[in-house]
Amino acid sequence: MIYKVMLIDDDVPMLKLLQQMIDWEQLQLKVVAATYSSVKAVHLFQQTVPDIVITDIGLPQKNGIELAEQFRQLKPDVRVIFLTCHEDFNYARQALKLQADDYLIKDQLTEEQLQQSLHKSLRLLKKQSSSVSVQPSSYNQQLLKQGLLQSVLDRTNVDEILKYAAGIGVRWNCPWYMLSLVHVQYASYDEHYSQQSLSLICYAIYNIAEELARKFEGITPFLQQQHLVIVYNYHDNLADNTVLHFNSYLQQLKERVAQYMKLQLVSVTVSDKLQLKQMGTCYHSLLRHKYEFYVGESMQIADRQQAIGSTWLQLPAGELDNYKVELKQALAIHDIDGIQRIIGSMKQHFQARMIEPASFMHELQVCLRELTIAASVRLDEAIFNYMEQSRTLVDVLALAERTLTAMAMPNDKQGKQGRGTLASSYEPKLQQIQHYIEQNLADSITSIDIARYLYLNPSYFSRYFKRMTGSNFTDYVHQYKMNIASQMLKTSGHTLEQIALTLGYSDRTYFSKVFKKYMGVTPSEYKNECS
């Protein structure tokens, strides 16, 4: 049997590369459609009905995740393989369980990797066709859960909600509920991921939450746009500490996401005894008012009446004017310490004033835009999007401080001002990167480390570095270190173990393997040739 494959990537050369990389017929596969357009992809999918889809994640108009969702509505058993250009995506790779068969990094893609992924998809396709199941797929289950959450938020009839829930395997048999909203802390997100990956990363966090919920009775996580909604259904039993149970789940979720994805989460929880019919009103109030804004990454509301109205003060006119003047002066003299001091002062001031969050964030964004105009710098709009979605003062000011710090870099590090985003206007010279490598030879350096050092977005740095050198950063560092190793083998009396440790390789065998890959011979053979 021949299985049909569809390829989607807005990079046309990549499309051609995929088509030419392997012998598709030998794997009993046929490429029936290939397109660079996510809009055309939907029409082609309906026409060809492929068994396997290989799609880039970062597509314009409709990203790969959204396409996969639509394809599975049309054909629930379709297999999906994602492509990504983000090297930093390795952080999340092990945690992602998005019902995709694999996640391949374009810059590192080999014929062998592609074949292995396709073999996995074929194996799963054959397994699907040889077994009959009346259970909905995990993906369909997720769609059904979305319908359940929407019914709760729309305050549908309680009996209908419970009937629907039981029908999809969600057992809400207890009378009381707790509710928590969980958001990403965007200052941590901006360090590791691009804005294009946000939907994917939120989906990954949801999968971690769902897996963890299996160990906690009564807890059901939902994914709602770019945040999680966690529902806890429970009996009011004096023998059980229900609040502790729910908090334990939330804490473990934060720890796992920090471990696997290098992200911090922010939660606001109503631990009062909620009825199902009250959940929708409570949710909308929590989402709109940002009660946790001045509290921090974890807020608990014991009385649901607190989640009904707002107690914020309105922002007085001109409240940010003095700070704006001070920041403008600090930027003019590249005073990074001064910027950090001013941001710290703003934090203390507004923490005490309890200004309504939306008005504060609007004025802060206006302030930042005015400062960038004065400095002839154009900011990446992603920063403003992150600020808009941020749930805490600490997060918003951390984003502002990072942005202003980058703006305060001396002109010789910013390059030509006013062209593109702030990130893309600062293009470091290779000597700066080499200097950093030399200063950290004994460490295992990643592209994220150097991006932080240069105050650049990691995704931008990876693209910039590839454009500048023709190789990815990992290969460059290995090659750079192996050149040093070759000189040390020729001129020093150090042992192989000593050289390996000096260059950040704790394992001699791995060091020898890397040396042979980049120098063509083993360290011993190289030393013998030199002598």
Last residue of a domain, one of 277, 307, 337: 307
152/263 same-domain check:
yes
Could you tell me if 13 and 86 lie in one domain? yes
pLDDT at position 75: 84
Using 50, 70 and 90 to split pLDDT, how confident is the model at 162? very high
Lowest mean pLDDT of 146-150, 206-210, 335-339, name the range.
Answer: 146-150
At 72, list the tokens: 């599975």
- Consecutive H or E run containing 260: helix 242-261
pLDDT for 273: 92
Determine, yes or no, domain membership for 313: no
Q: Cα(50)–Cα(77) distance, rounded to whole angstroms? A: 10
Res. 130: pLDDT tops 70: no
Helix axes 279-289, 138-153, angle to 10 degrees: 90
Number of domains forming the structure of the chain: 4
Domain match, 161 and 299 both: yes
**What is the structure's pLDDT at 340?**
94
Helical pair 198-213 and 64-74, crossing angle rounded to 10 deg? 60
pLDDT for 485 beyond 80:
yes
pLDDT digits (tens, 9 = 90+) for 495-512: 898 999 889 888 888 889
Q: Cβ neighbours of residue 485 under 8 Å, at least 6 residues apart?
A: 499, 503, 511, 515, 523
Is the pLDDT at 211 greater than 50, yes or no?
A: yes
Model pLDDT, residue 239: 67
| Mean pLDDT, residues 140-156 | 81
For 23, which DSSP code? -
- Token pair of 179 as six digits: 């509710």
Q: Is position 314 within any domain? A: no
Same-domain check for residues 340 and 456? no
Q: Full-prediction pTM beyond 0.85? A: no
- Sequence-distant contacts of 14-22: CB under 8 A, at least 24 apart: 14/56, 14/83, 14/106, 18/54, 18/114, 21/109, 21/111, 21/114, 22/111, 22/114, 22/115, 22/118
The reported pLDDT for the residue numbered 94 is: 41
Among residues of the chain, what percentage have pLDDT more than 70? 89
Same domain assignment for residues 463 and 483: yes
Residue range 405-456, pLDDT digits in tens: 988 876 544 433 322 335 444 445 577 788 888 888 888 888 888 887 776 7
Judge whether 9 lies within some domain.
yes
Last residue of a domain, one of 373, 404, 423: 423
Q: Which residue has the tokens 């302030």?
A: 367
Report residue 247 as tokens: 């908090």
**Phi, psi torsion values for 166, nearest 5 degrees:** -60, -35
One domain for residues 351 and 387 = yes
Instruction: State the pLDDT confidence band at 141, using cuts at 50, 70 and 90.
Output: low
Helix (H/G/I), strand (E/B), else coil: 269? strand
Instruction: Give the pLDDT confidence of 52-66 residue by residue, as tens digits.
Output: 999 988 787 788 888
| pLDDT grade for 310, boundaries at 50, 70 and 90 | low
pLDDT attached to residue 183: 98
In angstroms, the CA 397 to CA 340 distance is: 10
Q: State mean pLDDT over 215-221.
A: 96
Report the distance separating Cα 38 and Cα 398, nearest Å: 35
Average pLDDT over residues 258-282: 93
Q: Which residues, including other chains, have CB under 8 Å from residue 294's CB and lie 6 or more apart?
A: 350, 351, 354, 392, 393
Instruction: Give me the pLDDT at residue 460, please.
Output: 74
Mean pLDDT of 234-238: 85
Handedness of CA 373, 375, 379, 383 (dihedral sign): negative
The CATH number assigned to the domain holding 142 equals: 3.30.70.270
- Top pLDDT among 466 and 387 is at 387
Given pLDDT bands bounded at 50, 70 and 90, which one contains residue 218? very high
In this predicted structure, which of 3-7, 64-68, 481-485 has the lowest mean pLDDT? 64-68
Phi-psi region of 86 (alpha: psi -120 to 50; beta: other; left: phi over 0): beta
Whether 518 is in a domain gets the answer: yes
Count of CB atoms situated within 10 Å of the CB of 131:
7
Q: Please provide the average confidence, as pLDDT, over all residues in the chain.
A: 84
pLDDT value at 308 more than 60: no
Task: Average the pLDDT over each of 135-139, 153-157, 461-465, 496-500 and give the range with the smallest value.
Answer: 135-139
Query: Residues 302, 333: one domain?
Result: no
Q: Around Cβ 170, how many Cβ atoms within 10 Å?
A: 18
- For residue 315, tell me if it sits in a domain: no
Query: Which of 423, 450, 484 corresponds to the end of one domain?
Result: 423
Of residues 293 and 107, more confidence is placed in 293
Find out whether 204 and 98 touch, Cβ atoms under 8 Å: yes
| Range from 84-98, 161-175, 277-291, 356-370 carrying the lowest mean pLDDT | 84-98
In the predicted structure, residue 177 carries a pLDDT above the cut 90: yes
Residue 337 lies in a domain: yes
Check residue 389 and give its pLDDT. 93
Per-residue model confidence as pLDDT tens digits over 7-39: 999 877 788 889 988 999 999 999 999 998 888
pLDDT digits (tens, 9 = 90+) for 359-398: 899 899 889 888 887 777 777 778 888 999 999 999 999 9
pLDDT digits (tens, 9 = 90+) for 519-530: 888 998 888 877
Are 328 and 377 in contact by the 8 Å Cβ rule? The answer is no
CATH of the domain at 510: 1.10.10.60
Residue 312 in domain: no
Same domain, 498 and 397: no
Do 56 and 102 sit in the same domain of this protein? yes
Q: Let me know whether 282 and 152 are in one domain.
A: yes
Spatial separation of the C-alpha atoms in residues 394 and 400, rounded to whole Å: 10
pLDDT of 171 higher than 80: yes
Q: Is residue 461 pLDDT above 60, yes or no? A: yes
Provide the domain limits for residue 265: 138-307
Q: Do the Cβ atoms of 356 and 290 come closer than 8 Å?
A: no
CA-CA distances (angstroms) from residue 241 to 35, 101, 219, 236, 304? 55, 40, 14, 9, 19
| 367 and 297 within one domain | no
Query: Which of 216, 9, 248 minimizes the C-alpha distance to 106?
Result: 9
- Domain membership of residue 377 (yes or no) is yes
* DSSP one-letter string for 89-141: GHHHHTT--SS-SEEEEGGG--HHHHHHHHHHHHHHHHHHHH----SPPHHHH
C-alpha span between 482 and 510 (Å, rounded) = 12
Q: Is 132 exposed, middle or buried (0-12, 13-18, 19+ CB in 10 A)?
A: exposed
Domain at 40, CATH number:
3.40.50.2300
Q: Do 327 and 208 share a structural domain?
A: no
The CA–CA distances, whole Å, from 295 to 346, 347, 357 equal: 15, 12, 12
